[in-house]
Structure 1
Amino acid sequence: MDVQLIITLFLIGFTGSFISGVAGIGGSIINYPMLLYIPPLVGVGMFSSHEVTGITGVQVLFATIGGILAYRKSGYLHVSLIIYMGVSVLIGSLIGGFGSRMMEEQAINIIYGILALSAVALMFIPTKGREGKDDEIPINKSLASLLAFIVGVGAGIVGAGGAFLLVPIMLVILKIPSRVTIASSLAITFISSIGATIGKVATGQVLFFPALIMVISSLVAAPLGAQAGKKVNTKVLRWILALLIGGTSIKIWTDILF
């Protein structure tokens, strides 16, 4: 593999994973379009949508590990929420990961665009602040499980953990406080990415060396981002998420429609 491509992949992975650690997402919402557009833009290579979903699926798996470790003693990991949403999202991501092999590249991009637009819409719905840690916060377990399953299917298709949609769902619909949402979403995303990765590997959609480069950059950058995220105002975190998701959504839909 060309040295320039290796450097490009490392920088993409580092950027996406740092931001993912700050905002409590797996990084695929950022890495997916960067992997699609940046390598050909700088003339170092090109990946298909299937290859991109395979690479991001593996990358998210390791990026979330770093974030979870950073939050493990914070008191913000909601155990029962993680269990209920984690089981549902795992089942969904396995279905999406295996099923994506039969989909056209354009269809994968459309699914990504729909998920991104949904996330943006949720992020701009005003919410009332709530406080609390761990299992002090009540949850609607049935609703949480159903939503996690739906997100898991879509996330499995695009090689994501689904945190870019899980975060606004947890904030807006389930009414989970921002800090608890960010910490717990990393754990749920990790579980989701297991299913997505299994599906992608089993169907031959993973390029292992590019994925390895992205993983290495994730292990370096994600913990740094998580530490930085603890110091950032929660309103700022939500605006960061909204801007990132909105920007990538516009780019994807522009390419799809024009």
Structure 2
Amino acid sequence: MEIVNMVLEYFIMICIGLVGSFFSGLLGIGGAIINFPLLLYVPEWFGFTGFTPKEVASISMLQVFFASLSGMVSNRISSKGGPSLVHKRLVLQMGLSTLIGSLIGSVASSFLNSATINMIYGFLAVIAVVMMVIPTKASSENKPVTEVTYNVLLAVSAAFLVGIVSGIVGAGGAFILIPIMLTLLKIPTRITIASSLAIVFLSAVGGVTGKLTAGDIPVWPAVFAVIGSLLGAPLGTYLSRRMNVKMLRYALVVLIAVTAVKIWIDILV
């Protein structure tokens, strides 16, 4: 019976990783925005010992690392023969900035209690929803990567701040970076999605380093969540290139909104 329970628990972790990474590839996010509540609630629903918010943040950050890596590889394979949608200068500037911020945040999370981590996650989700419903100019959608310009100081500063709070909750930060890139930096949607995976990967490098230093990662549950993430990201990336840009944006808004409502209900009730 014990073996059956262990197998079931690890299967659940694979499914959680798969769901999160599917949305990672589909919408250019690291998957943490959906994985955080799944890891927090789903194991308990099946009668298993739940994870603490610190453990959830650590598992989620490790999953984000591998999901974003897998998504990047799939994106590169899918784009062969066509123009690259990754803005390399943007990735380098925002990626390094969010890496530093994420490292700081992930180390700082070991000094915070569970309620504070959940509240920070809730605030990030609400901010992301608000920013995603702000309309952007559709005329920029057809711009090639070489013609896209943006405010460098704003991009670097925003990435650093997002990196800090994302490192605390175990996120790559894309669920808030994407709205910033779309609404404030005016980056076209498809370039935003393609570039955000690379930015999230660099953010996750800093986050994972910090979580390993703090020692909060449950190894085996994290391993099986990663296995699931490696399965889901390529499928999400494949579908993202065959869907309407507006549908991608609306799907991201709905995903974040549902998650925000759930986490705040638990905080306030």
- TM-score, length-normalised on structure 2? 0.94
C-alpha distance in structure 1 between counterparts of 2:221 and 2:207, whole Å: 17
C-alpha distance in structure 2 between counterparts of 1:133 and 1:105, whole Å: 44
Structure 1 match to 2:36 = 32
Deviation at 1:71, TM superposition (A): 2.1
Structure 2 unaligned segments of length 5 or more: list them.
none
Structure 1 unaligned segments of length 5 or more: list them.
none
Structure 2 match to 1:234 = 245
Structure 2 match to 1:184 = 195
Structure 1 match to 2:137 = 128
- For the pair 1:197 / 2:197, whether they are aligned, the reply is no
Q: For the pair shown, which has the larger CA radius of gyration, 1 or 2?
A: 2
SS in 2 for 1:92: helix
C-alpha distance in structure 2 between counterparts of 1:118 and 1:242, whole Å: 11
Deviation at 1:44, TM superposition (A): 2.6
Aligned letter for 1:19? F
| Selected match of 2:96 from 87, 91, 116 | 87
Aligned letter for 1:50? K
The Cα offsets for residues 126-167 of structure 1, whole Å up to 9 and x where unpaired, read as 110212233321121110000000100011000110011111
In the alignment of these two chains, the number of paired residues is 258
C-alpha distance in structure 2 between counterparts of 1:241 and 1:101, whole Å: 30
Q: CA RMSD in A?
A: 1.0
Q: Equivalent residues in 2 for 1:150-169 (5 A)?
A: 150-169=161-180
Aligned letter for 1:111? I
- TM-score, length-normalised on structure 1? 0.98
SS in 2 for 1:199: helix
The Cα offsets for residues 43-72 of structure 1, whole Å up to 9 and x where unpaired, read as 133100000000001000000011111222
Aligned letter for 1:12? I
8 A Cα contact 1:75 1:133, kept in partner: no
Aligned letter for 2:10? I
8 A Cα contact 1:77 1:184, kept in partner: yes
Structure 1 match to 2:68 = 64
Aligned letter for 1:17? S
- For the pair 1:7 / 2:14, whether they are aligned, the reply is no
8 A Cα contact 1:78 1:133, kept in partner: no
Structure 2 match to 1:213 = 224
Aligned letter for 2:34? I
Identical counterparts, % of pairs: 48
Structure 1 match to 2:109 = 100
C-alpha distance in structure 1 between counterparts of 2:238 and 2:48, whole Å: 32
C-alpha distance in structure 2 between counterparts of 1:45 and 1:242, whole Å: 31
